[in-house]
Amino acid sequence: MLTVFVSDLHLSEQATGIRELFESFLNGPARDADQLYILGDLFDYWLGDDSLVLPFERSIADQLAATACAGTTINFMPGNRDFLAGPNLMAAARMRAVADSTVCQINGRPTLLLHGDTLCTDDFAYWAFRNLVRSADWQRNFLDQPLDVRRQQVETLRDRSESAKQEKSEALMNVNAAAVATAFRQQGVDRMIHGHVHRQGAHEDEIDGTTCRRWVLGDWGRTGSYLRCDDDDWRLCSYPE
């Protein structure tokens, strides 16, 4: 059994290098795997499933569907940039939707999977923003607007988010240790995988006398980052190696 995990690719029409890297990953390590998990922020942003009419969005969905048809089960968890991904994207890309903070059996081991933003509990400004855009009313109003208006709003939001981040410390934008411990305790697991913070690493924390292991996926740039899990070895890898 081979399972691979990625997150934080931030695919966009402009970032052609990452698109090519991901396409080759889908035809390589992902095709060799039984399961591919995408733990959020596959897209730089997802404006709603009606964007599947656009050539870039459609081509990514088609590439994912081709890998799924070749035999890899693809599981998609939304991130803070693509939480508007809906059933039409899942169907077009032949992906299975997995909710944030779900315990899945990964090669027979119960493992908590998250995007990772919910572990960043010190970032109050982000939480205010998150609560707003995750409300059903807000999403309905947003999706009622034409695609080009939504794109304009999100471009403005990206600028505001980038300047807000300049004012925040690295520690504030990282996971909160108590939130990590609470997640392990509440879910009753000793393994966790997430992305979002862009700090690839494997961590071991002693929680209530149990060694808990947490793998953090890296973001994609000139190279890709993925976690490769076979039955007895879970390893963070670069792509290409």
Point out which residues bind ligand LP5 (CB under 6 A): 45, 80-81, 84, 117, 120, 123, 125-126, 129, 133, 142, 153-154, 156-158, 160-161, 164-165, 168, 173
- The yes or no reply on residue 29 touching Mn ion (CB under 5 A) is no
Question: How far is the first Cα of the chain from the last one, in angstroms, to the nearest whole number?
Answer: 21
Smallest distance, ligand LP5 to C-beta of residue 161, A? 4
Taking CB under 5 A as the rule, does residue 196 contact Mn ion?
Answer: yes
Answer with the entry of Mn ion, ligand LP5, none that 127 interacts with (C-beta below 5 to 8 A by kind).
Answer: none
Containing 226, the helix (H) or strand (E) segment is: strand 224-229
- In the complex with ligand LP5, the residue whose CB is nearer, 84 or 112, is 84
* Interface with Mn ion (CB under 5 A), residue from 41, 49, 57, 100: 41
| 3, β-bridge pairs | 35, 229
d(CA 44, CA 166): 19
Cα separations in angstroms, 208 against 24, 182, 204, 213: 42, 11, 13, 13
Could you tell me the smallest distance in angstroms from the CB atom of residue 184 to ligand LP5? 20
**27 vs 129, beta carbon nearer ligand LP5:** 129
Interface with Mn ion (CB under 5 A), residue total 4
For residue 240, cis peptide bond before it (omega within 30 degrees of 0): yes
Quote the radius of gyration of the chain (alpha carbons, Å): 18
Smallest separation (angstroms) from ligand LP5 to the CB of 52: 15
Q: What are residue 206's DSSP bridge partners?
A: 211
Q: Find the binder of Mn ion among 48, 78, 79, 218 (CB under 5 A).
A: 79
